[in-house]
Amino acid sequence: MTMGSPSESSAVVETRLVHEVHRLATTLLAEAAARHSVPLGALAQLRDFLVVNLRHHHETEDHDLWPQIVAAAPGMATALDDLSEEHEELEDALDHLAAVNLSDDESKSDKAGATGAAGGAGVRVALRDAAEAVRAIVHDHLAHEEPLLLPALRDHVSPAAWQDFAQRVIATTPPVAGHLMVGFLDEAGTPGEVELVLAGLPEPVRPLLPAMRRQAADDLRILRGTGS
C-alpha cells in the first residue's frame, strides 16, 4: 500500500502510516477473536499492544500535538476539542477491552491438557465484542480526524517541530509487543515510508529489527490462522 506522495511532509506520511497500523491491528483483533484456532496468548498479546498504543497515541495528540497546532492556528481549537471527545469515547472502549481476562482461561485450558486455542469460549465472545467496538470507534474516528489533521500538519507544524514531537512519542511509547508495530508498519507502507517512521528508533534497537520482523511475521500468521 502506498501512503501519500513523495512531496508530502514527514509528518503527514508518518501519521498516515501509523493510522493505517491502527486500522490493520483493530481489524485483525476483531477477526482473530472469532477464530477458535488462535491461542488465547496470541490474542492477549495483540490486545495488550493495541490498548497501550492507542492510549499513548491519543494522549500524545491531546496533550502535545493539539496544543502545538492551536498555537499556530487558534481557529482549529473547537475541531480538535471535538476529536479529543472522541478520544474519550475510545478510552472507555479500551477500558472494556483491557478488562477481558484472557490469562485465567488460558491457564485453565493448559491445565486441562489443551493448548489454549480451544478454551475460554465465553471469554472469546467478550473479547470479540470489545474488539469490534474498538475497531468501529477507531475507524470512524480516523475518518473524522484525517481530513482535519493532515492539512494541519502540512500547514502548521514545521519539520523541526514534528521531529521533536516524533522523538518524544518514540521515547515514551510503552514497550509492549513492539515487534508487532514493526510488522504492521511493513504491511501498511512502502519500505521507504517504514524507514522514515523507524529512523527515530534508538541506535541499539536498530540491529534487532530483522529479528523483530521475523517474530512479527510468525505471530501475525498465527493470528490470521495461516501458521502455527
Residues 6+ apart with CB under 8 A from 202: 170
Q: Where are the domains of the chain?
A: 10-223
User: Which triple of cell numbers denotes residue 143?
Assistant: 475518518
Position 120 confidence tier, pLDDT thresholds 50, 70, 90: low
**pLDDT score, position 121:** 75
Helices (H), 61-102: 66-72, 77-99
**What is the number of other CB atoms lying within 10 angstroms of the CB of residue 79?**
18
Is 228 a residue whose pLDDT tops 90? no
Position 4 confidence tier, pLDDT thresholds 50, 70, 90: very low
Is 75 a residue whose pLDDT tops 50? yes
Mean pLDDT over 61-65 rounds to: 96
Mean pLDDT over 28-57 rounds to: 95
Place of cell 534487532: 208
Is 73 a residue whose pLDDT tops 80? yes
Mean pLDDT over 196-219 rounds to: 92
**pLDDT score, position 180:** 97
Q: Which contacts qualify for 74-81: CB closer than 8 Å, 24 or more apart?
A: 76/148, 76/152, 76/156, 79/148, 80/148
Position 118 confidence tier, pLDDT thresholds 50, 70, 90: very low
User: Which triple of cell numbers denotes residue 112?
Assistant: 486441562
Q: What is the pLDDT of residues 124-177, one digit of tens each?
A: 999 999 999 999 999 999 999 999 999 999 999 999 999 999 999 998 988 889
**pLDDT score, position 201:** 87
**pLDDT score, position 225:** 87
CA gap 136, 109 in Å, rounded: 30
Decide: residue 64, CB within 10 A, 0-12 exposed, 13-18 middle, 19+ buried: middle
**pLDDT score, position 200:** 84
Position 7 confidence tier, pLDDT thresholds 50, 70, 90: low
Q: How many CA atoms lie within 13 A of 227 on its CB side?
A: 10
The CATH topology of domain 10-223 is: Four Helix Bundle (Hemerythrin (Met), subunit A) (1.20.120)
Position 226 confidence tier, pLDDT thresholds 50, 70, 90: confident
DSSP letters for 169-220: HHHHS--SSHHHHHHHHHHHS-HHHHHHHHTTS-GGGGGGHHHHHHHHHHHH
Residue 86 zone, left/alpha/beta (φ > 0; ψ -120 to 50; rest): alpha
CA gap 99, 111 in Å, rounded: 23
Decide: residue 5, CB within 10 A, 0-12 exposed, 13-18 middle, 19+ buried: exposed
33 in Cβ contact with 134 (< 8 Å)? no
**pLDDT score, position 105:** 46
Least confident of 52-66, 67-81, 116-130: 116-130
**pLDDT score, position 3:** 42
